[in-house]
Structure formats: C-alpha cells, structure tokens
Amino acid sequence: MTDLDRYRDRARAWLASVAPEFGKAARRGLSEAEDLALGRRYQREKYEAGYAGINWPVEMGGQGLTHIEKVAFDTEEMPFGMPVGYFGISLGMPVPILQRFGSDKAFARERTIAALRGDEIWCQLFSEPAGGSDLAGLRLRAEQDGNGWKLNGQKLWTSWAQYSDYGVIVARTDPTVPKHKGLTYFWVDMKTPGVTVRPIKLAGGDSHVNEVFFDDVRIDDRHRMSPVGGGFAVAMATLMIERYVATDSAGFGPHLDLFVELARSVSLNGRPAIEDGRVRSTIARNYAMRSALDAITARAMLMMQAGMEPGPEGSLNKLVSVRSRQRLSEMAIDLQGATGFAYDDHALVKEDWTASWINAPTGRIAGGADEMLLNTIAERILGLPQDHRPDKGVPFNQIPA
C-alpha cells in the first residue's frame, strides 16, 4: 500500500465518522442559513483535523502537502455531500491569490486561517453587465482619492457575495489606454460603506449569485494587489487557477454510476434500458470522456506540484464536462418518462437528474461562457489565428459602448 493509499484510507474514515453530522442526510430540509451554519462548523472540523488547506504552505496555515493529496481528499469527500459549496470559490481563487500577490503577508496569513476555518468567506468580483465573459471589457472605475482609491460601478453574477466578508476585484484605472492595459487588481472589504449586494434568483430556484453595486467605495492603496495598470495579468492567474479548482469531470452533476443505476431500473421498449445499444453507447462515451478529463486535471496537478504553471487545457474540462452533464441529464429525464418532470426545490444537483438539467445552463455561463472557452481552445491549444477584434489596440474610452 502506498502512502497515498494510506492517506485516502484515513481521509475516508474521518469523512465517514463526521458524515452523520454534516453529510447530505443531515442537510435535508435545512434552510440556506442553517446549511451555511452547518457548513461553517464542518469547515472548522476539517481545519482541526488537518484536511483544510491541504496543499497550502504551513506558514499560511495549510498542511504543506501536495496537490495530489488535495485531489485525493476532494475525491473521497464528494460522495458524502458535505456543505462545502459556500467556500469553494473563497478557498479556490481569492485566498490563494491573496497569498501570492497580497503585499501584507501577515494580513494574508490571518485572512487565510480565518477562511480555512470557515469564519470568513471571500468572493470574486469579475463579471459585469456590459462585459459578459470579456474580463478586459469591464467598466467599474477605480479613481485615485488621496492615498487610496474610490470604486464606482457594478459587478454581476458574484457567487455568495451576500455572505462574503471580503472580495477580490478588477477595476478600470485608466480608460485612455487599450482595454487590457488599464486595469488594476484590488481586494475589498464587503462591509465597506457604499457596497450593496442584491441576490439574483436563478431558474433552479436558488440565489447564490448576486449583483453588487459600488457607490464611492473608499479603499486604501494597500488593498492593491497588482501594479497600477497591471491587473489583467493577476486576473488571468486567477482564471488559470479557476479552470482547475472549479473542475469536475461530471460537470458538477450526478456521477455516471447513478445513470447506470437508473438505466437498470427503468424499461425501454419492454426491456431494461441498460440493454439498449444507444444507452450503452452513451455510458461508454461518457466514461471515456470523463476519464480523459480526469487525466488532463491530473497532469495539471502534477505540473503545479513541480512548480510549473498549468496550461489552458483546463478550458477543455469546463466546456466538455458541463455540456455532457446537460445532455446526460436530459437523457435521464427522457428515460424516466413523465416522472422525470417532477421537480424538488431541495434536491441536490449531484443526485437529481432534473435539478442537474435545469441548473446546467448556469454552469455553462459561470466562470467563462462556452464561446469564450472555445476561443481559448482554438487560439491557445490548437494554435488557430485570433478572431478579428476591432477594439484591439484602441483606447478603451474610444470603443463604442
């Protein structure tokens, strides 16, 4: 037995021991506020048990292990349905970026430990109403104000902003230069006067995304995490992390085993659906696709473990996995016939095919829409020429709005 096998066994045993208190059975019927409180307690238990910040530096409150142990733990944790969704973005992108680019390392360590314990949540303030998935097209302004900055504008689709204590934000500091050049990266206290958060109700019934308004929000220059005008590079570093942190070959939908179970339990033309060639072909294709995506992720994790930057291949994972989830969910609903239309507001997306299907379009937009990912794949993986971009090299304030 390898060291990694022993690590998996210990993690699985610990997860099984706390699942009655924190797992999916314990979460059924809870309000969002109750579920968040449960999630905070679970995050604290993870921290005390040594399963939070697994691959983060010890000096930052982490365990100092590798990305391999992190992936191993996440794989074991997933089937238990623990209340971790509230912390995924916080611990996935903003806090690691604070560690890497924050100027005050003592502050970064303090915030990191608070986030690992579930005491604080961070959000990522990128998308805007007019910008879509074009991060360089954002319009929220940061204007110098004494020894600090003043933020004015709006962000959109910000996950868990209503519960966040802090956020990382990209703002336009110079509209007279081309759009990629005039951006600066900051962190912001979400309790600062002038910050207004309004939840948005999605098709699936939940409201985990928000629109956030900034009206003369004052921040110090110590909040700046990039050179003035150099924010796009830090934003891209954040997105590169996101492509692998926000990764699941099932597209964050039900596991393929659940589809196999369904195909065994329902009939198609008087026989078990699992015997139908089209159903078996779907299962085989999905298995092959998910195995390939897992291999891409494993390769990226090994690169990061070796101190290298992962490439743009993470765009493949998000694009293919969520599309596949949507199609597989639709087929699962079809196999159930009329009973497939039953919808439960409290069903878990990873367990219920109807909930998975109705929420899949959100996943195809969040973290970069399909069209942006296709451009990334075409240009950065396949080496195809760029699309014609009439705004390239043009000062931002001369681009028609």
Q: Is 34 a catalytic residue?
A: no
Closest CA to 284 of 312, 313, 256: 256
Q: Where are the beta strands (DSSP E) in 179-223?
A: 183-189, 195-200, 209-220
Q: Which residue has the tokens 């703002």?
A: 171
Q: Which of 128, 242, 309, 351 is catalytic?
A: 242
- Listing DSSP states for 299-318 in one string gives HHHHHHHTTPPP-TTHHHHH
**CA 68 – CA 4 distance, rounded (Å):** 8
Q: Is the dihedral of CA 325, 329, 330, 335 positive or negative?
A: positive
Q: Which residue has the tokens 């797992």?
A: 23
Number of H helices, E strands in the chain: 13, 9
Phi/psi for 208 (5° steps) reads -85, -10
Closest CA to 187 of 92, 93, 256, 257: 93
CA distances from 261 to 50, 123, 159, 275 (A): 35, 37, 33, 12
Strands 209-220 and 271-272: unpaired
Question: Which residues, other chains included, contact 8 with Cβ-Cβ below 8 Å and sequence gap of 6+?
Answer: 72, 76
What proportions of the chain, in percent to the nearest 5, are helix, strand and coil?
Answer: 50, 15, 35
CA distances from 366 to 15, 133, 174, 257 (A): 29, 9, 27, 26
Burial of 167 per CB tally in 10 Å (0-12, 13-18, 19+): buried
Tokens, residue 22: 């924190």
Kind plus residue range of the DSSP H or E element containing 171: strand 166-172
Q: Which residue has the tokens 């956020």?
A: 167
What amino acid positions are annotated as catalytic residues? 242
